[in-house]
Amino acid sequence: MTTRTALVTGSSRGIGRACAMALAAAGARVVVAARDREKLEEAAGEIRAGGGEAFVVQIDLASQESIKEAFARVAKEFGRIDILVNNAGITRDGLAMRMKKEVWDLVLETNLSGAFLCIQQVLPAMARERWGRIINITSVVGEAGNPGQANYVASKAGLIGLTKAIAQEMSSRSITVNAVAPGFIDTEMTQALPQELKDGLLARIPLKRWGTPADVAAAVRFLASEEAGYITGHVLDVNGGMYM
């Protein structure tokens, strides 16, 4: 089988890194992309140590220029990207009543516009090849809402709509577009939450445990595979039953 090239945004840590590892283990050549070059080199080193092929590219999802440059570098190196995982995301929490427009804009720009611009970069080559996998990492809060996160929730709900629109546009080219919606996953981002809040969240999860980055990566690996070729426009919940 030809080696597929996968690009994972936000793959320097957490869920993105786990997705990069899982895709490499499944035989893909993986481009790790994020802002922190040092952490990307670590992730790439781990992939190579496991016998996989990794390529590092710095990217800032809030900058269209940076996105274009990063994808141009990858195209020069490998010709095309077969699998795109839009995982990078930021939070800037606060109550809607007091949220400054620049804080709203930054989150929407990074999480939603950034994902859209990455999709635009890969579509022409995928259409020519008549094969592609696009997987957008959304969130349980994009489905259920969450107070104090109007910007983040809107960006993640927007990703679900974007997934369904692009799935319909590109289905005739055998390009599948799906979303994975993690619940509360044990990462650096969630470890910073106050203990009281974490206890309250755990009480709302029927499976009575936090998810792991590997739980999410397994769903991503499946949706990127040949076996998932008849699934498109779908939101796969990985949330321990927290939202049904």
Tell me the catalytic residues: 152
Tell me what pLDDT residue 189 has.
Answer: 76
Q: What are phi and psi of 175, to 5 degrees?
A: -105, 120
Query: Distance between CA 242 and CA 216 in Å, rounded?
Result: 15
**54 in any annotated domain:** yes
Side by side, which strands form the sheet with 175-182?
Answer: 54-58, 29-34, 5-9, 83-86, 132-137, 175-182, 235-238
Instruction: Count up the domains in the chain and report the number.
Output: 1
Q: How far is the CA of 228 from the CAs of 153, 211, 216, 225, in angstroms? A: 27, 23, 16, 6
Residue 130: pLDDT above 80?
Answer: yes
198-215 tens-digit pLDDT: 899 899 999 999 999 999
Residue 163: pLDDT above 60?
Answer: yes
Tell me what pLDDT residue 1 has.
Answer: 54
Residue 143: pLDDT above 90?
Answer: yes
The mean pLDDT of 68-89, rounded to a whole number, is 97
CATH code of the domain in which 96 resides:
3.40.50.720
**244 in any annotated domain:** no
The mean pLDDT of 68-93, rounded to a whole number, is 96
The mean pLDDT of 105-133, rounded to a whole number, is 98
Percentage, residues of the chain above pLDDT 90: 95
**159 in any annotated domain:** yes
Q: How confident is the model at residue 100 (pLDDT cuts 50, 70, 90)?
A: very high
Q: How confident is the model at residue 30 (pLDDT cuts 50, 70, 90)?
A: very high
Percentage, residues of the chain above pLDDT 70: 100
**32 in any annotated domain:** yes
The mean pLDDT of 137-149, rounded to a whole number, is 97
**44 in any annotated domain:** yes
**242 in any annotated domain:** no
Structural domain boundaries, residue 55: 5-237
The mean pLDDT of 230-236, rounded to a whole number, is 98
Q: How confident is the model at residue 70 (pLDDT cuts 50, 70, 90)?
A: very high
